[in-house]
Amino acid sequence: MRSAPALALLAALLVLTGCGPADVPAPGKATVDVDTPRLRELKQAAGVEACSPGSGSHVEGGLPELTLPCLGGGEAVDLASLKGPMVVNLWGAYCGPCRTEMPALQDFYERYGDRVPVLGIDYLDVQPEAALELVRRSGVTYPLLADPGGDLDRRDGFPPILGLPYLVFVGADGSVDVQTGGVDSADELVDLVDKHLGVDL
């Protein structure tokens, strides 16, 4: 039987070593249910808008042919059907910078969403209820999809997702440009939309 000091040392080693890349599961088919009565209730209470598929088709260098469910219920969306100009934001309730930037994205959406819509994707997040609680607290109302299994990463040549927040700027022709890191204000996002999409707001 190990002594108390030996057990404490073992516990400390486990804490200090943390998880390496081999410990992180690869993306795969999600088993998280993002459409339950409770989630529908939370979505409705937050005033989140309905998900809406686009009318386009897959283009080289664009969003991949991947259908994602609507967070909190609603119509699933094939990403390849979406055309811009549009801002797609990958986020997760576990991501501190994501929580910080959500009000800025909502401010942008309220001011310019009729010209440049915003779509959120709750990415690699296995706690959809916590995600929708965050949405409610942040005042977010733009449409939200869910990718709890991380299926979007490296899909059909899509740029690798190395961290969140992750902004995808979708052009009118369906092409995409990406930028990692969050935004602090709607005005900062206005500048990025001009830079990546050539849209002067």
* Reported CATH class of domain 49-197: alpha beta
* Chain position carrying tokens 């040392």: 9
Residue 147 to residue 123: CA distance in whole angstroms: 5
How do the domains of the chain map onto residue ranges?
Answer: 49-197
pLDDT tens digits along 53-105: 988 788 888 899 999 999 999 999 999 999 999 999 999 999 999 999 999 99
In this prediction, residue 181 carries a pLDDT of 86
Question: Which among 83, 29, 76, 87 has a CA at the least distance from the CA of 61?
Answer: 83
Instruction: Give the residues across from 176 on adjacent strands.
Output: 170
Alpha carbons 154 and 80: distance in angstroms, whole number: 14
Asked if 130 and 169 touch (Cβ cutoff 8 Å), the reply is no
Do 153 and 27 meet the contact criterion of CB atoms below 8 Å apart? Answer: yes
- Model pTM? 0.83
Question: 125: burial class by Cβ within 10 Å (0-12, 13-18, 19+)?
Answer: buried
